Amino acid sequence: MAQKSTDVQQALASPAGLSPESVKAISASLNQVLADAFALYLKTKNFHWHMTGRHFRDYHLLLDEQAAQIYGITDDVAERVRKVGGRTIKSIGHISKLQAIKDNDKDNVSPSDMLNELRQDNATFIKDLRKAHDAADDAKDAATTSMIEVWLDEAERRQWFLFETVRGMN
């Protein structure tokens, strides 16, 4: 009887049927993605709000579109952590402990510096996504890897747009 109860508890530990080690690895990597998604979202909106210059409208709209895309994945990332049996971030303080993407609180940032910094931050985000993909792939978690592949393509597109925009400024 005790064995049956243990089997049920083990099965309930991960709704996706993953090992505890896999849940830990996938959850940690996805929580990194989530923390950096929130940091990147807010920085992108910050630069959107504070954009100036002769290309204001184009850059303002580009950053608004990118911010919406970044924010759009946050619920899916967090829910995936829960679906595999993990716990996800709980607060802004928790985000600040995990985020690799640094805040920019400067009063004046040039448009070229804004776009270049976001290009570099998207590169960091791409690294996060690749690490999370590796963790999910190691666990044979096809659902997570397929979700990450979509997010990765979106991040690479954002970085490419920023790269070409910055390159066109020079």
Q: Where are the domains of the chain?
A: 34-169
Which positions ≥6 away from 118 have C-beta within 8 Å?
40, 43, 44, 47, 63, 66, 158, 162
pLDDT at 60: 97
Q: Quote the percentage of the chain above a pLDDT of 90.
A: 87
Query: What is the pTM for the complete model shown?
Result: 0.90
Residue in 82, 84, 75, 93 with CA at minimum distance from that of residue 34: 75
Burial class (CB in 10 A: 0-12, 13-18, 19+), 147: buried
pLDDT (average), residues 153-167: 96
pLDDT band at 17 (very low <50, low <70, confident <90, very high): confident
CA–CA separation, 125 vs 121, rounded Å? 6
Residue 99 has pLDDT above 90, yes or no: yes
pLDDT at 4: 58
pLDDT band at 8 (very low <50, low <70, confident <90, very high): very low
CATH domain 34-169 topology: Ferritin (1.20.1260)
